[in-house]
Amino acid sequence: MSDKPEDTDDYSIEIDSEREKLKNTLAKEETEREIIEKDFIPHFFPTFRISRNLYPIPIIIAVICAGFLAYATYVLAGVQVEGGYISEEEYGLTAGLINGLIFVLVAALSSFIIIYLVKKFGIGILKFVFGFSFGFLGFILTYFFAEIISFIIFYNLPESETLYTSYIIVSYIILFGSGAFIIFMVYKYFTTKSYFTKNFFVLYVGFLVGAMFGVIMPLWTTLAILIGFSIWDIFAVKAKRGPIKQMIDIASQNNTEEELSEEELAKKIESGEAIYDTSKLEIGIGDLAFYSMLTSAALIITGSLIVMILTAIAIMIGTGITIQGLKKNKILPGLPISIFLGIGTMLLTWYVVSIL
């Protein structure tokens, strides 16, 4: 081996050339792969549609909005109510595990009931299910958080008879305004083809639910719910009898454009000859709700904005990892990787912050 400068330079040039050839080869293989379009998802399904490169945007918006509402409710307004079926303050970890199990079982039972209704009455029945759910949750939570913000504003003003009368009037305006707003949004959601309207309402309801759960659920119940739903999400999406998988299959069974059988398609994906198109993504409303629930809980439980921010970053990293897997899968559960990374980050950073 020579130590002459010219020999070293030649060797470096050769290495760079080989690297460039490898990059070109990989790029060519990527472009030569067959791009498979994913099954069509009906417009009224509660998913946030966005370009792959912009996927962090709805997560960031949900986290910020939910965190603000949770902080305003718990800290500024002083609303500190323990949620769950069994008191965690009295029974500790056991109560948290039982609460989480109950929530997951109720969700699982509801999912199978919905699948039964879809098979009996058709996919259109979901419009009534989603419409009622969105309408009920949207109205209750919009009214609740609007009242919280109104209370904070009026609480910091000098007391007077006029102030009290104004507060009562504003409360009625909030009540009827919340109802009118939600009715209008539900109507637009099901009648317009605009993805902006759909995305807005899915994101809106998602972070409202996340903020509420983040405020009222104590530590062990929060962890049990998030871990339980993450495990359930794997079954619901990947198992043959999983309700979400069945729902997507039923919604797309009328597609006649697919030229390959499922077996042929699976072989091409497995061999690397084809990949699924991931240029557009569908993020479920449940994913947004649980992402914002975890970050809101991180803020409320730990009292640290740093912990919340790092937890949100971990969630987005987990979502990015999940998205990479979508190239070889038609659909993947959005919770497990993101939630487990988020919980791990929250607990670790909480510990570090507490000892500093």
Q: What is the pLDDT of residues 17-62, one digit of tens each?
A: 655 655 555 454 445 566 776 666 778 889 999 998 999 999 999 9
Average model confidence (pLDDT) for the chain? 87
Residue 2 pLDDT:
45
Run of H or E including 111: helix 93-121
**314: in domain:** yes
Q: Which 8-state DSSP code applies to residue 159?
A: P
Confidence tier at 247 by pLDDT (50, 70, 90): confident
Residue 19 lies in a domain: no
pLDDT for res 55: 93
DSSP per-residue letters across 22-40: HHHHHHHHHHHSEEEPPPP
In a domain, 61, yes or no: yes
> Is the CB of residue 207 less than 8 Å from the CB of residue 62?
yes
H helix count then E strand count, the chain: 13, 4
In a domain, 203, yes or no: yes
Is 123 a member of any domain? Answer: no
pTM for the model: 0.86
216-225 average pLDDT score: 96
Where is average pLDDT lowest: 124-138, 152-166, 266-280, 291-305?
A: 266-280
Q: Report the C-alpha gap between 203 and 185 in whole angstroms.
A: 12
Classify residue 54: in a domain, yes or no. Answer: yes
Tell me how many domains the chain contains. Answer: 1
Please report which confidence band the pLDDT of residue 156 belongs to, taking 50, 70 and 90 as the band edges: confident
Q: What is the pLDDT of residue 29?
A: 47
- Do 57 and 266 meet the contact criterion of CB atoms below 8 Å apart? no
CA 328 – CA 302 distance, rounded (Å): 38
Structural domain boundaries enclosing 305:
37-92+131-219+254-355
| Domain annotation covers residue 51 | yes
